[in-house]
Structure 1
Amino acid sequence: MKKTFKKEERLCNKSLLNKLFHSGSSFVVYPFRMVYMEVSLEKVKSPVSVVISVSKRRFKAAPHRNRIKRLIREAYRQQKSIALYPFMESKSLGLLLAIQYVGKEEVPFATVWAKMEKALAQLINENNQ
């Protein structure tokens, strides 16, 4: 599987976003808060649809927010094909996923990578139950 992050994988639909945040489940793997919800594959174009957000309250300057989002996107892009996509395709369901950065300061990419790995493993574990 190619390690890409295309438009079809991004969650932009307002009704699906509202549904995700109002009735989705969540957990925290610091510095991330993961909000997720399983849906039928007809509602989404990809097995996993993702939205990434960084709080404007904690990071006032846009370049800092954008850098954090870029690091998160890169870590997710490289790790999604290892475990998350094969797991969701075996379940024949779609997944709506919001990755929120709740940390108070910027962290290096190695930390983002390790925490993303842990968060995706926990996401698979929680969906497996």
Structure 2
Amino acid sequence: MKQTYGKTEKLKSKITIGKLFTEGKSVSAYPLRLVYVKTNFEDNVSIKTGVSVSKRNFKLAVDRNRVKRLLREAYRLNKNEHLATVSGQYAFMIMYSSKDLPKYEFVEKKMITLFQKFIKSETENL
């Protein structure tokens, strides 16, 4: 399986994002928070993901974009190992809530923890 984060895997639908924040569940590994909801997509994708960084915490767009790049890269490199066993289709929103600029190693470690918590919570709900 390729380690890509292409156009079809990106969460763009306003309806799905609205549903995510009204009906979604969440897990967190500070400073990351994953909000997810089980849904159905028309295309053959099991998970669609979006990333978000608060403008309140990072005033400069350069800093927000850097954190979002780190989040997307950590997601892209670790999704195959940790999310390959997920059954069903999910919409994810990964949010960063700290005021400090992170290093990639820190983000990757927290992303793995976040995926493990998600898998644990979903296996408990089945």
Secondary structure of 1:53's aligned partner: strand
Number of the residue aligned with 2:15: 15
Deviation at 1:103, TM superposition (A): 1.0
Number of the residue aligned with 2:48: 49
Aligned residues between the structures: 124
TM-score (norm 1): 0.92
Number of the residue aligned with 2:70: 71
Task: Supply the distance in 2 between the matched residues of 1:73 and 1:44 (Cα, whole angstroms).
Answer: 21
Secondary structure of 1:87's aligned partner: coil
Task: Supply the distance in 1 between the matched residues of 2:123 and 2:82 (Cα, whole angstroms).
Answer: 12
**2:29·2:114 contact (CA, 8 Å) conserved in 1?**
yes
Number of the residue aligned with 1:103: 98
1:11-67 per-residue CA deviation (whole Å, 9 max, x = no partner) reads: 000000000011100122111111011123x44541000010000011000000000
Task: Supply the distance in 2 between the matched residues of 1:22 and 1:4 (Cα, whole angstroms).
Answer: 29
Number of the residue aligned with 1:87: 85
Alignment gaps of 5+ in structure 1: none
Runs of 4+ with >2 A deviation: 42-45
- Kindly provide the amino acid, as one letter, of the partner of residue 71 in structure 2: I
Q: Flag the 1:33–1:61 CA change in 2: closer, same or farther, 3 A.
A: same
1:52-86 per-residue CA deviation (whole Å, 9 max, x = no partner) reads: 000001100000000000001000000001120x2
Task: Supply the distance in 1 between the matched residues of 2:43 and 2:34 (Cα, whole angstroms).
Answer: 18
Alignment gaps of 5+ in structure 2: none
Number of the residue aligned with 1:120: 115
Deviation at 1:87, TM superposition (A): 1.4
- Range with bigger deviation, 42-51 or 12-21: 42-51
TM-score (norm 2): 0.94
RMSD of aligned Cα (Å): 1.1
Secondary structure of 2:85's aligned partner: helix
Q: Flag the 1:27–1:83 CA change in 2: closer, same or farther, 3 A.
A: closer
